[in-house]
A and B are shown apart, each in its own frame.
Chain A
Amino acid sequence: MNGRLRRRYERLLFTYPSAYRAAHGAEIISTLLDAVRPDQQLPSPRETTSLLLGGLRMRARQAAKESPSRMWTDGLHLGVLLIVLVNLSHALEMPFPLWIALVAVGALAVGALAMGALAIGALAIGRLVIGRSRI
């Protein structure tokens, strides 16, 4: 039944890591189709949001599992940058308060996280759009 709705849900699953999709995709689609109203043609906004967020979370968890050292090296780089900035301010004898360095490093950290999330999001949206244009 309802092949079109099934395909739409399958496209939403592209936010999930491929290995997870291979193992659980079929059962998730079945669960989604079990839960639809008889006249439903489109994925519900609630299920759509939940799948997009669920997929991103699963990717984040997988990335953390595969390379926990990555997070530590990123943190280390930011720490080194902070020390360099503080030393630089002393060397130049500039009134370069510590809080500016802290804010700068904080912004970099937030920026790095945001870039990562954006990259994943853009990838997912790109796949959805490409998937849709193929119909």
Chain B
Amino acid sequence: MSEPSYFILAALLDDPLHGYGIIKKTAELSDGRIQLAAGTLYGALDRLAEEGLLLADREEVVEGRTRRYYRLTDRGSHALHREAARMEQAARIVTRRSGLAATNPNLA
């Protein structure tokens, strides 16, 4: 799973969001590291919807602007948690080592 896809799905964990909502939330969750441009965002949304990981929830028109909300499917939620567990396990290989290095300067 690509990093933008991971953060897009993670942005939808709590509530359905519209396009700009997803852009703001992914930036917030990644400490500003992920700044999605619209072309990238909608390409990813189309792919993720095709894979059944999210779906278009509802549409609103407010002050002439069309906002479609996207929400995580059960399948998307499972995929996201699986990916998180995989990354946690991968990160432990390194963090365990640096934890040792921090307590024992000889290993650093």
Contact B43 A28 (CB under 8 A): no
Interface size on B, residues (CB 8 A): 17
The answer to whether A33 and B65 touch (CB under 8 A), given A27-B18, A27-B19, A28-B19, is yes
Bound Cα distance from A49 to B41, whole angstroms? 13
Name the residue in B23, B42, B66, B68 with the highest tally of chain A Cβ atoms < 10 Å from its Cβ: B42
Residue from B39, B65, B68 having most chain A Cβ neighbours under 10 A:
B39
Number of interface residues of A (CB under 8 A): 24
Per the bound structure, the CA–CA distance linking A12 and B67 in Å amounts to: 19
- Establish whether residues B67 and A24, one from each chain, have CB atoms under 8 Å apart when the complex forms: no
Contact yes or no, A50 B40, CB < 8 A: yes
The tally of CB-CB contacts under 8 A between chains A and B is 60
Query: Among the listed B23, B39, B66, which residue makes an inter-chain contact with A55, where contact means beta carbons less than 8 Å apart?
Result: B39
Is there an interface contact between B19 and A51, defined as CB atoms closer than 8 Å? no
Minimal beta-carbon separation of A28 from chain B (angstroms): 6
| Interchain CA distance A106-B39 in the complex, whole Å | 31
Q: Report which of A26, A54, A61 forms a contact with B40, defined as CB distance below 8 A.
A: A54
Chain A residues 32-52 with CB under 8 Å of chain B are 32-35, 46-47, 49-52
Contact B41–A31 (Cβ < 8 Å): yes
B65 in contact with A34 (CB, 8 Å): yes
Would A30 and B23 be within 8 Å (CB), given that A47-B37, A54-B39 are in contact? no
For residue B69, which residue of chain A has the nearest CB?
Answer: A27
Q: How far is the CA of A35 from the CA of B65 in the complex (A)?
A: 12
Minimal Cβ-Cβ distance residue in A for B42 = A28
Q: What are the nearest 10 A-B pairs in CB distance?
A: A54-B39, A50-B39, A31-B19, A50-B37, A34-B20, A26-B66, A30-B65, A51-B39, A27-B68, A27-B66
